[in-house]
Amino acid sequence: MKNALTTNPSVLKWIEEKVALTQPDNILWIDGSEEQLEALRAEGCSTGELQKLNEEKLPGCYLHLSALNDVARVEGRTFICSEKEEDAGPTNHWMAPDKAYALLENIARGAYKGRTMYIIPYSMGPVGSPFAKYGIELTDSIYVVLSMAIMTRMGKEVYAALGDSNDWVRGLHCKCDIDEEKRYICHFPQDNTIISVNSGYGGNVLLGKKCFALRIASNLGRQEGWLAEHMLILGLENTEGKTTYIAAAFPSACGKTNLAMLIPPEIYREKGYKVWCVGDDIAWMRIGADGRLWACNPENGFFGVAPGTNMKSNPDALISTQKNTIFTNVVHNLDDNTVWWESMDKNPPKNAENWKGEKWDCTDGSKGAHPNSRFTAPAKNCPCVSSEFDSPAGVPISAIVFGGRRAKTAPLVYQSRDWNHGVFVGSIMASETTAAATGAVGVVRRDPMAMLPFCGYHMGDYFAHWIEMGKKLGENAPKIFNVNWFRTDDEGNFVWPGFGDNLRVLEWIVRRCENNADAKETAIGYVPFAEDINLDGLKDFDIETLKTILEVDKDLWRAEIDGIAEFYAKFGNKLPATLEAEFATLKNNLK
Ligand code: OXD
Ligand code: MN
Between the CA of 305 and the centroid of ligand 1 the distance, in Å, is 8
Q: How far apart are CA 203 and CA 374, in angstroms?
A: 10
Longest dimension (CA), the chain: 71
Between the CA of 203 and the centroid of ligand 1 the distance, in Å, is 7
**What residues are neighbours of ligand 2 (ion), with CB under 5 Å?**
252, 281
191-230 in b/e form (b: 16+ CB < 10 A) is ebbbbbbbbbbbbbbbbbbbbbbbbbbbbbbbeeebbbbb
Between the CA of 231 and the centroid of ligand 2 the distance, in Å, is 8
Q: What is the pTM of this model?
A: 0.97
Q: Ligand 1 pocket, 280 CB below 6 A?
A: no
**For ligand 1, mutation pick of 252, 256, 259, 447 (most atoms within 8 Å of CB):** 252
Q: Ligand 1 pocket, 451 CB below 6 A?
A: no
Q: pLDDT tens, position by position, for the chain (591 residues)? A: 889 999 999 999 999 999 999 999 999 999 999 999 999 999 999 999 999 999 999 999 999 999 999 999 999 999 999 999 999 999 999 999 999 999 999 999 999 999 999 999 999 999 999 999 999 999 999 999 999 999 999 999 999 999 999 999 999 999 999 999 999 999 999 999 999 999 999 999 999 999 999 999 999 999 999 999 999 999 999 999 999 999 999 987 788 999 999 999 999 999 999 999 999 999 999 999 999 999 999 999 999 999 999 999 999 999 999 999 999 999 999 999 999 999 999 999 999 999 999 999 999 999 999 999 999 999 999 999 999 999 999 999 999 999 998 888 899 999 999 999 999 999 999 887 766 566 666 677 899 999 999 999 999 999 999 999 999 999 999 999 999 999 988 888 899 999 999 999 999 999 999 999 999 999 999 999 999 999 999 999 999 999 999 999 999 999 899 999 999 999 999 999 999 999 999 999 999
**For ligand 1, mutation pick of 71, 73, 441 (most atoms within 8 Å of CB):** 73
Q: Give the closest residue (by CA) to ligand 1 atom 1.
A: 252
* Active-site residue set: 254
Q: Ligand 1 pocket, 302 CB below 6 A?
A: no
| Contact in structure between 280 and 302 (CB atoms under 8 Å) | yes
Q: Give the closest residue (by CA) to ligand 1 atom 3.
A: 203
CATH topology of domain 9-50+70-224: Phosphoenolpyruvate Carboxykinase; domain 1 (3.40.449)
The listed CATH number (1.10.3470.10, 1.10.10.10, 1.20.1090.10, 2.170.8.10) that belongs to domain 303-381: 2.170.8.10
Q: Ligand 1 pocket, 226 CB below 6 A?
A: no
Q: How far apart are CA 587 and CA 528, in angstroms?
A: 22
Question: DSSP letters along 553-587, please?
Answer: -HHHHHHHHHHHHHHHHTTGGGS-HHHHHHHHHHH
Q: Ligand 1 pocket, 353 CB below 6 A?
A: no
Minimum-distance ligand 1 atom for the alpha carbon of 454: 4
Between the CA of 531 and the centroid of ligand 2 the distance, in Å, is 34
Phi, psi at 382, each rounded to 5°: -80, 125
Q: Ligand 1 pocket, 496 CB below 6 A?
A: no
Q: How far apart are CA 248 and CA 506, in angstroms?
A: 11
Between the CA of 208 and the centroid of ligand 1 the distance, in Å, is 13
Domain ranges of the chain: 9-50+70-224, 229-297+389-589, 303-381
| Contact in structure between 340 and 330 (CB atoms under 8 Å) | yes
Class of domain 229-297+389-589: alpha beta
Q: Ligand 1 pocket, 411 CB below 6 A?
A: no
Between the CA of 387 and the centroid of ligand 2 the distance, in Å, is 23
Minimum-distance ligand 1 atom for the alpha carbon of 450: 4
Q: Ligand 1 pocket, 252 CB below 6 A?
A: yes
Rounded to the nearest 10°, the torsion over CA 430, 431, 432, 435 is -130
Q: Ligand 1 pocket, 374 CB below 6 A?
A: no
Between the CA of 587 and the centroid of ligand 2 the distance, in Å, is 32
How, if at all, do strands 274-279 and 231-237 pair?
antiparallel
Q: Specify the 3-state DSSP secondary structure of 85.
A: helix
Minimum-distance ligand 1 atom for the alpha carbon of 374: 3
